[in-house]
Amino acid sequence: MGDPGDGVDSVLISEDRLLKRVGELGEQISADYAGKRLLLVGILKGSAIFLSDLIRKIDLVVDYDFIAVSSYGGDKHSSGVVRVLKDLDSDVRGRDVIIVEDIVDTGWTLRMSYLVENLLARGASSVKICALLDKPSRRRIDVAVDYPGFAIEGYFVVGYGLDSNGRYRNLPYIGIVTSDGKN
């Protein structure tokens, strides 16, 4: 799976580069939150693989939970309509929270007015964002990514948890899927 005949045009970020950067993010988060008990909140489904690798690289007591938020449906582009499909099971009161996202594109799925402010309103002590992939050139809403993995161009990417209509999540790298080279 993952060769051009299977729909993946090229490898953008190799497995080795991904794992190295995840380790660096884990070290940075460990240093920034030394002595604290973190709650990582993964955005389903795309962040599950990234979160699984990241949590093992954080040298702290760490809890995690998931929330499902959608703005894509079956399309390659964000619809701009955010829907909560699954809420947190954890109480965030008094907790330092890091939202873990696979990709921050237009900013719709991480709207400050919704996820960050909602978690703060629930009593979180702090809320930061960690994103494996960041597409700052496509922002419609200003989203500060506190722990960015890789800044990328406007490609439609798959692998390492990211999908195209449910396919490619299991690829160990980030690949580009396009018909014309860019989206």
Instruction: Tell me the catalytic residues.
Output: 105
From residue 82, give the alpha-carbon distance in Å to each of 18, 63, 85, 110, 111: 28, 26, 10, 9, 9
Helix (H) or strand (E) holding 97: strand 96-104
Can you read off the two tokens belonging to residue 54? 């990241």
Q: Where are the alpha helices (DSSP H) in 33-150?
A: 48-55, 117-121
Cis peptide before 182 (omega within 30 of 0): no
Can you read off the two tokens belonging to residue 162? 């990211």
Cis peptide before 128 (omega within 30 of 0): no
